[in-house]
Structure 1
Amino acid sequence: MHAKVVVVGSLNMDLIVRTPRFPVGGETLAGHGFATAPGGKGANQAVAAARLGTTVAMVGCVGGDAHGAELRAGLLAEGIDCSAVAKVPGVATGIATILVDDAGQNAIVIAAGGNAEMTAERLADHDALLQAADIVIAQLEVPMATVEATLVRGHELGRTVILNPAPAVGPLPAHWYGLVDYLIPNESEAALLTGLPVDSPETALQAAQRLLEAGARRVLVTLGSQGVLYADGERHMHLPVEPVVAVDTTAAGDTFVGGFAAGLAEGLPLEAAIRLGQQAAALAVTRPGAQPSIPHRHELPA
């Protein structure tokens, strides 16, 4: 299969605990629900792009355990090409422990497991997938050397390169910016990348301008209920979103990235591709879980 979108990134099993609020240090709280669900930023974005109408291939690693088998089977059921999802014996599949409070906000701790085995050498083994793609997506839940190799190769091939710098821990390597066609941080990630406070469309624009000065071609700052701020070297626009009642914000950003990529792969104009991602993310936050919350294209407004 020649996938229009290739996602290089993480696959996690999410362990989700519902809690009235987040505990403070040393405190034990009684939760009121537990579930497991397939997740990982890379896999979430792959599922979103597939459900929203494009062909997708996933490049990543799982462990030789039941979680890994379940994650791979789930992607295959979505019609995603998993020929480049490696099973690594003797290693645990990545997991994310997710606390979701009654306001729908989440706090997440991840253990990389098999995702740490996704090396640049493994990526090189699947270069044919990148060559056949239109769009290449990366995040930061696999080794940085692998992310860099993804950006470099995607750029060399003239593909549309999307980087979701999540989870961000600080500024990106300076030479990465020129390799990326669309940089898509959320508010906290944009703040970490720039050192600027980001809590509104106005402050998001300031951060986006700083990222453009660093060499990014186009920046989309996702602002949750405040919509998306887009900026490039010539223009900027704020696209608000219809208010919804959030149940669980897990994978909202991933759904946006996958939906936006699906829109680009379909040939939609930029603003329409952003709207597609926004509509999908807005529906996703009204449902629990990561991949279980991601909508199909037919569920979205026409």
Structure 2
Amino acid sequence: MTNREREILNIIKDNPLISQEEMASMLGITRSSVAVHITNLMKKGLIKGKGYILSDEDEYVVAIGGANIDLLGFPKGKLNLRDSNPGRMKISIGGVARNIAENLVRLGVNTKLLTLVGDDLYGKKIIEHSKKIGLDMSLSKVLDISQTSTYLSIQDDKGDMAVALSCMDIYDDFKVDYIKENEGMIKKSKCIVLDTNIPEEIIKYIIENFNIPVFLDTVSTNKAMKVKNFIGKFYCIKPNKYEAEVLSGIKIESENDLKRAAEYFLNRGVKKVFITLGEDGIYYGDESRLNLFKTPKVEVKNATGAGDAFVAGLVFAYLNDFDIHSTAKFSTAASVLALLSEDTINQNMSIENINYIIKEMGL
């Protein structure tokens, strides 16, 4: 679903009897353009016949995992360890699953987030922000005895993370019963996005009980170990080089090693694998193709949200039937867009801007 189709669908939900002329006036477009979008929505089964009767089977993606507050520090010069550094501080709403979900919403994808937040200032901020951008957190839980997950990151003078601390004890309260309570809703989703911030038993339950493509962000080498014994159950995985090493047992020092690691995952049942290599690009593969995709050099303002934007690109590409090379291009451009913003989520994340980057950088 495009951003414009999403706008029109939301208008119709509020007023099913609204005329096309009224919608055109509200959106600043022609009535004929509204008619085209409505026809497309009807073809997709989101509107049924006259009177704009909405479909009960609205397409959506479910993201399950972390939501937290990111505290980001940027030094004004070279970062000196064991010293007080002059710099700037920024507070952003983060969490891997939540970040992926927000990027998807900005790409026009209806997304529901299952997560835990505390009944505190940070938890309220996350929920309020989600309502503002249209991210559905109605099934997320607020725990009054836990602190909302918090992530503190200090960047170096190049915009890369120098050191970070995380306080994510709240996810110890993530239980299988919570997933069971929402089983019907999850089963109707187009796909599931998981991060490894949640307990291993939750990840294993989801992968064994839902016959839906699951996209996995492995998050870190330590947390990636939760899925090592059942990595082949995932539809698509996005480890970085080091996470790929611990999951495959293959030391990656060359392109041939990357090929061997990708084949390791594919041979165990993964349908699509994308191994991220930072400024060196992406190594991707499926049953039809293995390839090293070089990425353009960009001036990095904040690398924290690049991987999350990349996964959102993977999901968007899946929903729109992209081939694997087009998927790599689109997802890389989404990550580049994230790198260009000091915020964890680039407020300008959109299909149009991603396509602009693909064209301008010759991806």
Work out whether the TM-score is over 0.5.
yes
Kindly report which structure 2 residues correspond to 1:111-130, keeping only aligned pairs within 5 A, or say none: 111-130=167-186
SS of residue in 2 equivalent to 1:38: strand
1:44 lines up with 2:99 in the alignment: yes
- Aligned partner letter, 1:15: L
1:261 Cα deviation (Å)? Answer: 0.4
Following the alignment from structure 1 to structure 2, what is the Cα–Cα distance between the partners of residues 58 and 200?
A: 38
Match of 1:236 among 290, 312, 317: 290
Q: Which residue of structure 1 lines up, in the alignment, with residue 260 of structure 2?
A: 206
SS of residue in 2 equivalent to 1:33: strand
Q: Which residue of structure 1 lines up, in the alignment, with residue 129 of structure 2?
A: 74
1:292 Cα deviation (Å)? Answer: 4.3
In the comparison of the two structures, how many residue pairs are matched? 297
Q: Which residue of structure 1 lines up, in the alignment, with residue 230 of structure 2?
A: 176
- Aligned partner letter, 1:109: L
Kindly report which structure 2 residues correspond to 1:132-143, keeping only aligned pairs within 5 A, or say none: 132-143=188-199
Q: Which residue of structure 2 lines up, in the alignment, with residue 54 of structure 1?
A: 109
- Whichever of the two has the greater Rg, that structure is 2
Following the alignment from structure 2 to structure 1, what is the Cα–Cα distance between the partners of residues 302 and 322?
A: 29
Following the alignment from structure 1 to structure 2, what is the Cα–Cα distance between the partners of residues 113 and 297?
A: 35
SS of residue in 1 equivalent to 2:138: strand
1:218 Cα deviation (Å)? Answer: 2.5
CA contact (8 A) 2:200 2:227 kept: no
CA contact (8 A) 2:61 2:189 kept: yes
1:215 Cα deviation (Å)? Answer: 4.0
Structure 2 alignment gaps of length 5 or more? 1-56, 357-363
Q: Matched residues, percent identical?
A: 20
1:223 Cα deviation (Å)? Answer: 1.6
Measured against aligned partners, the alpha-carbon deviations of 1:132-190 in whole angstroms (never above 9, x if no partner) come to: 11111111111111122222233xx2x11111111231645455223211111012211
Closer/same/farther in 2, CA of residues 291 and 200 from structure 1, 3 Å limit: farther
Following the alignment from structure 1 to structure 2, what is the Cα–Cα distance between the partners of residues 148 and 43?
A: 20
- Aligned partner letter, 1:87: V
Deviates more, 1:265-274 or 1:179-188: 265-274
1:280 lines up with 2:352 in the alignment: no
Closer/same/farther in 2, CA of residues 175 and 292 from structure 1, 3 Å limit: same
1:13 lines up with 2:69 in the alignment: yes
Kindly report which structure 2 residues correspond to 1:218-297, keeping only aligned pairs within 5 A, or say none: 218-292=272-346, 295-297=349-351
RMSD: 2.1
CA contact (8 A) 2:63 2:112 kept: yes
Deviates more, 1:217-226 or 1:202-211: 202-211
CA contact (8 A) 2:333 2:354 kept: yes
Higher relative contact order (CA 8 A, sep 6+): 1
Following the alignment from structure 1 to structure 2, what is the Cα–Cα distance between the partners of residues 213 and 273?
A: 21
- Aligned partner letter, 1:34: M
Following the alignment from structure 1 to structure 2, what is the Cα–Cα distance between the partners of residues 271 and 142?
A: 31
SS of residue in 1 equivalent to 2:166: strand
Whose helix proportion is higher, 1 or 2? 2
Deviates more, 1:89-98 or 1:160-169: 160-169
1:255 Cα deviation (Å)? Answer: 0.6
Q: Which residue of structure 2 lines up, in the alignment, with residue 299 of structure 1?
A: 353
Following the alignment from structure 1 to structure 2, what is the Cα–Cα distance between the partners of residues 196 and 293?
A: 38
CA contact (8 A) 1:138 1:164 kept: yes
Following the alignment from structure 2 to structure 1, what is the Cα–Cα distance between the partners of residues 173 and 59?
A: 23
Q: Which residue of structure 2 lines up, in the alignment, with residue 167 of structure 1?
A: 220
Structure 1 alignment gaps of length 5 or more? none
SS of residue in 2 equivalent to 1:103: coil
Q: Which residue of structure 1 lines up, in the alignment, with residue 160 of structure 2?
A: 105
CA contact (8 A) 2:69 2:150 kept: yes
Deviates more, 1:134-143 or 1:204-213: 204-213
Closer/same/farther in 2, CA of residues 21 and 110 from structure 1, 3 Å limit: farther
Following the alignment from structure 2 to structure 1, what is the Cα–Cα distance between the partners of residues 157 and 297?
A: 18
- Aligned partner letter, 1:262: F
- Aligned partner letter, 1:77: K
Following the alignment from structure 2 to structure 1, what is the Cα–Cα distance between the partners of residues 344 and 253?
A: 24
Structure 2 length normalisation: TM-score?
A: 0.76
1:232 Cα deviation (Å)? Answer: 2.8
Structure 1 length normalisation: TM-score?
A: 0.90
